[in-house]
Structure 1
Amino acid sequence: MDGIPVRARVYVGCAVLGALCCLFPLPSDRTRWWPVLLLAALYAGGERVARRRFAGTLYPVLLAGAFLFPAAAAALVPLPGALLSPVEHRPFPLRRVWRAARLALGVWAASRAHEALGGREAVGASDGPALLLPAAAGVLVLCLVLAVLDGGILALAEGLPARRAWHGPFLRSLAPVGVHGLAGLMMAVLWHSPYGPVAALLVLFPMGVSWWVFAQYHRERAAHQATIRALVQAVDIKDGYTRGHSERVGQASLLIARELGMDEGRVEVIRFAGILHDVGKLGVPTRLLRKKGPLTPEERRVIELHPEYGHEITRGISFLGEARSAILHHHERLDGSGYPYGLVGSQIPEPARVVAVADAFDAMTSTRSYSRARPVPVALEELQRCAGAHFDPRMVTALTRVITRDGWHPIVTADEPRLPAQSPADPVPERPGARR
Structure 2
Amino acid sequence: MRTTRGAARAYIAAVALGALCCVLPALRSGAGTPWITVALLTGLYLACELPGRCPFFGSSVPIRAGSFFPLLLAAAFLLPPAAAALVAVPGSLVGRVERPPFTARRVWRAAQLAVTVWAASSVHGLSGGTATLGGSGTGPDLPYAILPACAAALAFSLVLTVLDGSILVAAERLPLRRAWSGLLPRSLGPHLVHGLAGLMMAVLWRGPYGPLSALIVLLPMYISCWVFAQYHREHAVHRATIRALVQAVDIKDTYTRGHSERVGRASVLIARELGMDPGRLEVVRFAGILHDVGKLGVPTRVLRKDGPLTSEERQVIELHPEYGHEIVRGIGFLGEARAAILHHHERLDGSGYPYGLSGREIPEFARVVAVADAFDAMTSTRSYRRGRPVPAALEELKRCAGTQFDPQMVRALARGLERHGWSAVTTAGTAAGPEVPGSRGECEQAVPGRPRPSGGLGHIPPPQPPADGLGVLPGPQPSADRRR
**Within the alignment, does 1:36 sit opposite 2:46 as a pair?**
no
Post-superposition offset of 1:61: 1.6
**Within the alignment, does 1:293 sit opposite 2:296 as a pair?**
no
For 1:10, give the aligned amino acid: A
Contact 1:44 1:80 in 2 (8 A): yes
CA separation in 2, counterparts of 1:354 and 1:168? Answer: 38
Which of 1 and 2 has greater Rg?
2
2:73 aligns to what?
A: 63
SS in 1 for 2:100: coil
1:367 aligns to what?
A: none
Post-superposition offset of 1:62: 0.9
CA displacement, residues 250-271 of structure 1 (integer Å, 9 cap, x when unaligned): 9867997999998653453244
| Change over 3 Å in CA distance of 1:33–1:157 after alignment to 2 | same
2:369 aligns to what?
A: 352
For 1:49, give the aligned amino acid: P
CA separation in 2, counterparts of 1:32 and 1:117? Answer: 21
Structure with the larger helix share: 1
**Within the alignment, does 1:181 sit opposite 2:191 as a pair?**
no
**Within the alignment, does 1:167 sit opposite 2:182 as a pair?**
yes
**Within the alignment, does 1:269 sit opposite 2:279 as a pair?**
no
Contact 1:232 1:246 in 2 (8 A): no
2:210 aligns to what?
A: 196
Q: 2:18 aligns with which of 21, 36, 40?
A: 21
Unaligned runs of 5+ in 1: 365-369, 409-418, 423-430
- The share of aligned pairs that are identical, in percent, is 48
Q: 1:77 aligns with which of 72, 77, 87?
A: 87
Post-superposition offset of 1:89: 1.4
SS in 1 for 2:133: helix
CA separation in 2, counterparts of 1:2 and 1:254? Answer: 47
SS in 1 for 2:144: helix
1:321 aligns to what?
A: 335
Post-superposition offset of 1:119: 2.6
CA displacement, residues 65-107 of structure 1 (integer Å, 9 cap, x when unaligned): 1222344443332222222224121121222233234433443
For 2:148, give the aligned amino acid: P
**Within the alignment, does 1:87 sit opposite 2:84 as a pair?**
no
SS in 1 for 2:145: helix
CA separation in 1, counterparts of 2:95 and 2:197? Answer: 22
CA separation in 2, counterparts of 1:114 and 1:384? Answer: 61
Post-superposition offset of 1:130: 1.8
For 2:369, give the aligned amino acid: A
| Change over 3 Å in CA distance of 1:329–1:45 after alignment to 2 | same
Q: How does 1:215-364 map to 2 (within 5 A)?
A: 217=231, 235=249, 239=252, 241=254, 265-289=279-303, 291-296=304-309, 298=311, 299-300=313-314, 302-307=316-321, 309-311=323-325, 314-315=328-329, 317-324=331-338, 326-327=340-341, 352=369, 356=373
CA displacement, residues 229-250 of structure 1 (integer Å, 9 cap, x when unaligned): 785687578x275898598569
Q: How does 1:350-389 map to 2 (within 5 A)?
A: 352=369, 356=373, 371=383, 386=393, 389=396
| Change over 3 Å in CA distance of 1:221–1:354 after alignment to 2 | farther
| Change over 3 Å in CA distance of 1:398–1:62 after alignment to 2 | farther
| Change over 3 Å in CA distance of 1:233–1:186 after alignment to 2 | same
| Change over 3 Å in CA distance of 1:20–1:312 after alignment to 2 | same
2:150 aligns to what?
A: 136
Moved more, 113-122 or 22-31: 22-31
- Using the size of structure 1 for normalisation, the TM-score is 0.64
1:48 aligns to what?
A: 50
RMSD of aligned residue pairs (Cα, Å): 5.5
Contact 2:165 2:180 in 1 (8 A): yes
Q: 2:219 aligns with which of 201, 205, 217?
A: 205
For 2:306, give the aligned amino acid: G
SS in 1 for 2:307: coil
For 1:61, give the aligned amino acid: L
Post-superposition offset of 1:342: 9.8
CA separation in 2, counterparts of 1:362 and 1:159? Answer: 35
What number of residue pairs does the alignment pair up?
395
| Change over 3 Å in CA distance of 1:306–1:95 after alignment to 2 | same
Post-superposition offset of 1:49: 1.4
Post-superposition offset of 1:64: 0.8
CA displacement, residues 294-324 of structure 1 (integer Å, 9 cap, x when unaligned): 3426445643553454346545644323433
CA separation in 1, counterparts of 2:271 and 2:168? Answer: 20
For 1:47, give the aligned amino acid: E
Moved more, 310-319 or 35-44: 310-319
Moved more, 20-29 or 243-252: 243-252
CA displacement, residues 349-399 of structure 1 (integer Å, 9 cap, x when unaligned): 6863796499769976xxxxx749x9xxx99x9667745655835555787
| Change over 3 Å in CA distance of 1:282–1:219 after alignment to 2 | same
Contact 2:84 2:118 in 1 (8 A): yes
